[in-house]
Structure 1
Amino acid sequence: MKIDMKQPILDKNDAIARELRERFAEHHVYVVDLLASPGSGKTSTILATIDALRDEFNIAVIEGDIASSVDAEKIKAQGIAAVQINTGGACHLESAMIKRAIDVLDLERLDLIIVENVGNLVCPTDFDLGENAKVMILSVPEGDDKPLKYPGVFQVSEAVILNKVDTMPVFNFNQEAFEESVNQLNPQAPIFPLSATTGEGLEAWTSWLAERIRKA
């Protein structure tokens, strides 16, 4: 006899995610679930996004990490509400964790919640958090072959940020091959090349996001 433990877990997760999505819609809050590997530049991209959008939108961040509150403290230092979730070893966030996190946030005052998921290209793809969009960050040093090795995360993402593009010559990153692979997996997802040093490309990403927040 084979017992499938995954489906009951996902069913429970999805039920809570539906409740969350209704709450977010009721309060017109747009929610982004940010997926990436450790070191890809998630937190720095979040900080840059906050800086670009904070004059128009009220923003909060939910930080998912196995341990520590380092990233949440960086967000709070910018005057932005941040809730830290430590998974204690779990490789992803689940909707029940998000439900507890938003209980300490004032949804009536928020326009955007950015969820920084645990650094992982596999587990978070299966778990609906009630978000409006999953967005992936890939940094150039990780290699242009990642869509071939981890297709799932590209397939579920509504947009892809290609970070640290300044380092392409160093790592022999083939941007054309990368974009072709992403387009084959997910032709609807825009790709936003971004410089982590100069910020070039940030406006295209934040304009895309701002348009969706306004429609929430």
Structure 2
Amino acid sequence: MCAHCGCTQGDHSLSHFHHHSHPEHDHLDEDQGAREVGGGKKQVSLEIDLLEKNAFFAKQNRAFFRKNGLLAINIISSPGAGKTSLLIRTLESFRGKIPAVVIEGDQQTELDAEKIRQTGTFALQIQTGKGCHLDAHLIAHALERLPIIHQGIVWIENVGNLICPALFDLGETKRVVLLSVAEGDDKPFKYPEAFYGTDLVILTKIDLLPYTDFSIERCQDGLRRLRPGIEMLELSSKTGEGFEQWLKWIKNELEKVKI
């Protein structure tokens, strides 16, 4: 949880501009967090408080998305699983057809946001500093700075991490977890929280399958144990293999939120 990983420091920025200060909602600073979690009961209380505040903003974000007929997709994965590559190919496939904006989450730099902008898509970078995840409050501030779109998609590329991002509801419509074949087929067993709460799992970089010992069957078995019926797509952002199924899934979900 955040009190342990250091992301309670609260040194986030939106494309180099610090978000508005709301002391009653901001993360606790690192020293305060360390004092509060000295005992077991206090630690549980702090974690519940953080998640309750997050739920408040998540509810507001969700209402905003529904009001504007927006499909908000929160993409979670380990670093290097292919989130940005997936986004770029997806945005290029829908260019001129579906309005879209992107919220990028990284600890430092605007490297991924700059790549997204090359597709002609507006991208807002959130730099989380020592933070290891985005939260609903940060997304709420980001929404204030995004261009207005309707009947489109708000893409949220979360910070590369399979732990904390899984615990924080951003108010998204759908959550998608990426897993690359290079990471190993045991991730659903090791990080159950990330996969249990997702709407879709995407196995990426399948063009590398011949060069790994990744077992699709073992991975699917782990997913079924967590939640029977969970859907997994297999694709390669590099070759385009399996991409049509992914685009079809997006179109179907977008139809569900149109007003």
Structure 1 residue 104: deviation in Å? 1.2
Structure 1 residue 175: deviation in Å? 0.8
CA contact (8 A) 1:158 1:190 kept: yes
CA contact (8 A) 1:154 1:160 kept: yes
Structure 1 residue 72: deviation in Å? 0.4
Equivalent residue, structure 2, for 1:25: 66
SS at match of 1:5: helix
Equivalent residue, structure 1, for 2:143: 102
CA contact (8 A) 2:188 2:223 kept: yes
Q: Percent sequence identity over matched residues?
A: 39
Decide which of 166, 169, 176 is 1:125's aligned counterpart.
166
Separation in structure 1 between the aligned mates of residue 243 and residue 61 of structure 2, nearest angstrom? 29
Structure 1 residue 110: deviation in Å? 5.4
* Cα distance per residue 1:20-65 (max 9 Å; x no partner): 1001100001100000011111100001111222332101110000
Residue 110 to residue 75, structure 1, CA distance change in 2 (3 Å): farther
SS at match of 2:145: coil
Equivalent residue, structure 2, for 1:201: 242
Residue 109 to residue 7, structure 1, CA distance change in 2 (3 Å): same
* TM-score, normalised relative to structure 2: 0.81
* TM-score, normalised relative to structure 1: 0.96
Structure 1 residue 132: deviation in Å? 0.6
SS at match of 1:195: coil
Equivalent residue, structure 2, for 1:167: 208
Say yes or no: does 1:142 pair with 2:180.
Answer: no
Residue 133 to residue 188, structure 1, CA distance change in 2 (3 Å): farther
Aligned residues: 216
Gaps of 5+ in 1: none
Equivalent residue, structure 1, for 2:84: 43
Note the aligned Cα RMSD (angstroms): 1.2
Structure number, greater radius of gyration = 2
Q: Which AA in structure 2 matches 1:133?
A: K
Gaps of 5+ in 2: 1-38
CA contact (8 A) 1:53 1:210 kept: no
Q: Which AA in structure 1 matches 2:172?
A: E
Separation in structure 2 between the aligned mates of residue 53 and residue 192 of structure 1, nearest angstrom? 19
